[in-house]
Amino acid sequence: MNTRTILCGLLVLTCEFCHAESQMEQAKMPYALIYKIATAEFKQLEGLKKQESRLIISSTLPNVKPKDIKLYIDSRSGKIPLRLNSDGTFSFPLRKDLLKENPFVIANQPKGSMQLEAKIDLHGNIKTKGRVVSGKHKIRYIDLFSIRTMQEQVVDQITGDVRDYVDYVHPHESITWSEFRPTKPIESPVVIYGRSGNIKVGPDPDGVVRIKYDPKLAKENPFVTFPSDGQLEVFSKLMDTEK
């Protein structure tokens, strides 16, 4: 069985600007927190081909747009302005001297109204472990969803890197599913051999069999059989985005 794993929008971290002590004080966040998220690398992930990170500033106030937000690094050597694009993305200077100083990144917005999103996209290939049994491809359930293991590794690494600022960081929940595209049209279903009974998943009208990740089945880790050769693609997305 040929496999190609697609990781898209794998992880989103929301970092809240710390609350100010008065209504007049501006929202702010430590430079080191943004630096560590922006420079995080995941070379330990097997099969990783490319990673992309995007930093996005937004306001929780409905009428505040990125063009209304003024952002700067309040360094001892002087203010360093950060220009926001229309979508809230921005370039962040990665400097060891600023990391050592760790100044605040300050916004011209009131306390509790600002947040930083770090979107980390990982792209790569994973080989599915399996074997042919009686003419059918047989693999373990958890091997259908190798992305989940990657997600856990990424979250663990990020939270470890920013452990001094753990109260700021909130990983978003995501959902994962597999899509099996047979080389030829099939009538027989994919079968999950669960302890409480076999689960048969047939093809959708487009001929693709879609299997949503179930944490209970992952813990049980039953065998899964596929009726033919085909391509298995694994996807992950945020729970609040559309497929």
Number of domains into which the chain is organized:
2
The values of phi and psi at residue 36, to 5°, are: -70, -35
- Give per-residue pLDDT as tens, 43-80: 766 666 777 778 888 888 888 898 999 999 999 999 99
15 and 57, same domain (yes or no): yes
Whether 181 has a pLDDT exceeding 60, the answer reads: yes
pTM equals 0.60
Residue 1 domain-assigned (yes or no): no
Q: With pLDDT > 90 as the criterion, what percentage of the chain qualifies?
A: 31
Whether 115 has a pLDDT exceeding 50, the answer reads: yes
44 and 138, same domain (yes or no): no
Integer Cα distance of 67 and 84 in angstroms: 7
Domain limits for position 13: 9-122
191 and 113, same domain (yes or no): no
Residue 192 domain-assigned (yes or no): yes
Task: Report the pLDDT value the prediction gives residue 75, as an integer from 0 to 100.
Answer: 96
Task: Report the pLDDT value the prediction gives residue 3, as an integer from 0 to 100.
Answer: 42
45 and 129, same domain (yes or no): no
54 and 135, same domain (yes or no): no
- Give per-residue pLDDT as tens, 118-163: 777 766 665 555 554 556 688 889 888 766 666 667 767 776 776 6
133 and 203, same domain (yes or no): yes
117 and 172, same domain (yes or no): no
- Please name which of 65, 62, 60, 72 lies closest in space to residue 26, comparing C-alpha atoms: 72
Report, in this order, helix, strand and coil percent for the chain, each rounded to 5: 20, 45, 35
80 and 184, same domain (yes or no): no
Tell me which of 14-28, 61-75, 218-232 is least confident.
Answer: 14-28
Task: Report the pLDDT value the prediction gives residue 55, as an integer from 0 to 100.
Answer: 85
23 and 108, same domain (yes or no): yes
Whether 21 has a pLDDT exceeding 50, the answer reads: no
Query: Counting beta carbons within 10 angstroms of the beta carbon of residue 69, is it exposed (0 to 12), middle (13 to 18) or buried (19 or more)?
Result: buried
Position 15 confidence tier, pLDDT thresholds 50, 70, 90: low
118 and 36, same domain (yes or no): yes
51 and 78, same domain (yes or no): yes
Residue 155 domain-assigned (yes or no): no
Whether 164 has a pLDDT exceeding 90, the answer reads: no
111 and 196, same domain (yes or no): no
Task: Report the pLDDT value the prediction gives residue 129, as an integer from 0 to 100.
Answer: 54
Whether 205 has a pLDDT exceeding 50, the answer reads: yes
Residue 153 domain-assigned (yes or no): no
Residue 151 domain-assigned (yes or no): no
